[in-house]
Amino acid sequence: AELADLPQALRWREWMARVEAVLFASSEPVGREVLARVVGRDCALDLLIEDISAELAGRPYEIARIAGGWQFRTKPQHAAAIRAARKEGEEGRDFTPNEALVLTIIAYMQPVTRGAISRLTGREVSRDLIARLHRQALIARGPRSPEPGAPYTYVTTPGFLIQFGLETLRDL
């Protein structure tokens, strides 16, 4: 990975190509540790990714920092073209108001119990709604709550970060 035998400019180009290839081949965000195995620990990975991003400036995709790693993402202005090519409509892709509300509460208050969510919303939050968000890999069970009955708590997942294009929960 170090490529010490190459001149600095060629080594940098080779590292850029390797990182771009790894990101292109991955369907999930790729973390710093993985990319460091490809280019070596002494490489300035952030600068390398900036250079790749600069070369992609006119392309319909970009490198995004998501869920603690990097991933190729289509630029938002091209989303409609991709949906049309896949014959997908806009319908069915949005959250219901209840799902959005519950997901927001979990994201900001995690770990939080279903009972606490119900108290905050002022209405009962069904197990079915929680199960739908869980099936979509947006939430997961957290630690048991110390309150009587030790109910499960719920937390967001890396899938939540990916879905909303966030690097960390601090980006909320």
Q: What is the pLDDT of residues 6-41, one digit of tens each?
A: 777 888 888 889 999 999 999 889 998 999 888 877
pLDDT tens, residue by residue, 94-114: 788 899 999 999 999 999 999
Euclidean distance between CA atoms 142 and 124, whole angstroms: 20
Q: Please give the share of the chain, as a percent, with pLDDT higher than 70.
A: 94
Q: What is the per-residue pLDDT for 82?
A: 81
Contact indicator for 53, 73 with CB cutoff of 8 Å? no
Q: Please give the share of the chain, as a percent, with pLDDT higher than 90.
A: 41
Biggest CA-to-CA distance, the chain: 66
To the question of pTM greater than 0.85 for the whole model, the response is: no
- The conformational region for residue 125 under phi > 0 = left, psi -120 to 50 = alpha, else beta, is beta
pLDDT tens, residue by residue, 35-70: 988 887 777 889 999 999 999 888 998 999 988 899
pLDDT, the chain, mean: 87
Q: How many other CB atoms are found less than 10 A from the CB of residue 114?
A: 20
